[in-house]
Amino acid sequence: MTTAADSLEFSLTERAAKRVAHLIEQEGQASLMLRVAVSGGGCSGFQYGFSFDDTVNPDDRTFERDGVVTVVDETSLELLNGAQVDFVEDLGGASFQIKNPNATSSCGCGSSFAI
């Protein structure tokens, strides 16, 4: 049986996957996964959160790219459906950025958004 959560998508770009793999290697724990979550707050209503985790909870979905596993809880995934995480390096520095097709607006720093 297919549920609505089964059709939700989320991905990392190749650059993001390479950067996450490098950071996990530096942590020295190969079992770590990138957890991406959405919480209330920020200047636009919702904010993105990134952390490392070694646990998959019952309400989590996992996505894999080039050996890197990303974990997103189902509630956050509804707000991130179709989103992609990229790693960008420019004169302003280096950061992870989320391209979220569901966001109607976002703040200047790119860490919060509105729907």
Domain ranges, ordered by start, for the chain = 8-114
**CATH superfamily for domain 8-114:** HesB-like domain (2.60.300.12)
Q: pTM for the full model?
A: 0.82
24-69 pLDDT, tens digit each: 999 999 999 999 999 887 666 788 899 999 999 999 999 999 999 9
Please indicate whether residue 104 or residue 17 has the higher confidence score (pLDDT). Answer: 17
Which structure tokens are listed for 30?
């190969």
| Bridge partners, 95 (sequence order) | 88
Closest CA relative to residue 83, chosen from 41, 46, 36, 19: 36
**∠ CA(45), CA(49), CA(55), 5° rounding?**
135
